[in-house]
Amino acid sequence: MFETFLEYSGYWFRNNQAFLLNFEKDFRVFCFLLDVFRSRWARIGKEIDSHNRSLVGLLPFLQLFLRHSIFGFQHLGSFQGFLSWLNFRPGLESFLILGKFIDEPANAEIWKNREKDWRTYTSTFSGKPLISRSMPRSSDFQNVLSKINDGFMHPNPEFTFRDVTIYDQEHEVLLATEYFDLNPEVHEAHLLAYLNLTQNVILSSNQLLNTLFNEQLTYVSKPYSEINGSRAASLANKNPDAKKIMEELGLWRF
C-alpha cells in the first residue's frame, strides 16, 4: 500500500505541473478573482454599513469561502474535478449563510444554537430556506449546492460508478477505480464551471456590498463566460457530460 501511495503522490505532483503549463490563463483568473473578493470585503473589518451596523461578525464566513475556494481549485490543478466540488462546498454554503444573517440578524442565534435546537436550525439553514433576500442569485447558488450534495458527497449510484471501470477478461473481472480525471473534456468542464461559478459569487457579493454601503461601485472585469463563451460552447457540443457539468455546477447557459 505504501508503494500505491507513492505512485499516487507522484501522479498528483506531475498533474499540477501539467495544469500550470496548460491552463496558466485560468490559474491567473482564479488568483485575480480571489484578490478582488478579498480587497472588496476587507472594509467590513473596520467600517460600519449605511445603517450604522458593524459587519465584523461576517468575516469568518468570508474567510471560509476564500479557504475552500483555494482547496477546491487545488484539486482542479491535480486533475481531480470530483474532489474540487467536495472541498468547495463548505465555502459556498458559508456564503449562503452570510446572506441569511444579513436578512435577519436573529438567524445568527439560530445558527449558534444548532446543537440545542437542531430542528429550527434545519428549517432555517437547509435546502430552499438557505435562499436569502439579501444575496443576489442566492437561489442559483443554493441549486448548485444541492447538485454538489447529490453528486459529490454521498456514495449513491452516480457517485459510486462515475470513476469505476470494469474490465471483463477471459478468466477474471478487473475493477478499477480512478483517482484522477481521465477525460480531458470532463476536466476542462469542471474548470470552466468552477471559475464561472466563482466569478458569479463574487459579482453577487459586490452587489450586496453596494446595498450594504449604499454605493454603486461596479465590477470592472469582463465576465468569464463572455471571454470563454466559444470555448465552453465547443466543449458542450462535443461532450454531453461536460455540458451538464457546466450548466448544473457552473451556471453556464447554452
What is the phi/psi pair of residue 173, to 5°?
-115, 125
Confidence at residue 175, expressed as pLDDT on a 0 to 100 scale:
86
- Flag whether 103 is in a domain: yes
How would residue 216 be classed by pLDDT, with cut points 50, 70 and 90? confident
- Flag whether 214 is in a domain: no
Distance of alpha carbon 252 from alpha carbon 142, whole angstroms: 15
How would residue 219 be classed by pLDDT, with cut points 50, 70 and 90? low
How would residue 140 be classed by pLDDT, with cut points 50, 70 and 90? very high
Confidence at residue 174, expressed as pLDDT on a 0 to 100 scale:
86
Confidence at residue 79, expressed as pLDDT on a 0 to 100 scale:
97
pLDDT higher than 80, residue 83: yes
How would residue 218 be classed by pLDDT, with cut points 50, 70 and 90? confident
Share of the chain above pLDDT 90, in %: 77
Phi-psi region at 218: left, alpha or beta (left = phi > 0; alpha = psi -120 to 50): beta
Residue 124: half-sphere exposure toward Cβ, Cα within 13 Å: 22
pLDDT single digits (tens) 96-129: 999 999 999 999 999 999 999 999 999 999 999 9
- Taking residues 203-214, what's their average pLDDT? 92
- Flag whether 243 is in a domain: no
Average pLDDT of the chain to the nearest whole number: 93
- Flag whether 131 is in a domain: yes
The neighbouring-strand residues paired with 167 are: 174
Radius of gyration for the chain, computed over Cα atoms and rounded to the nearest angstrom: 20
pLDDT single digits (tens) 29-80: 999 999 999 998 998 888 898 889 889 999 999 999 999 999 999 999 999 9
- Taking residues 81-95, what's their average pLDDT? 96
Distance of alpha carbon 76 from alpha carbon 189, whole angstroms: 10
Residue 36: half-sphere exposure toward Cβ, Cα within 13 Å: 21
Q: Could you tell me how many residues make up the chain?
A: 254
- Flag whether 50 is in a domain: yes
- Flag whether 211 is in a domain: no
- Flag whether 14 is in a domain: yes
Model confidence, pTM: 0.94
Confidence at residue 1, expressed as pLDDT on a 0 to 100 scale:
61
Task: Give, in order, the Cα–Cα distances in Å from 192 to each of 53, 54, 243, 245.
Answer: 37, 36, 10, 9
Query: 97: domain range?
Result: 2-177
- Flag whether 18 is in a domain: yes
What domain count does the chain have?
A: 1
Distance of alpha carbon 193 from alpha carbon 181, whole angstroms: 15
Confidence at residue 176, expressed as pLDDT on a 0 to 100 scale:
86
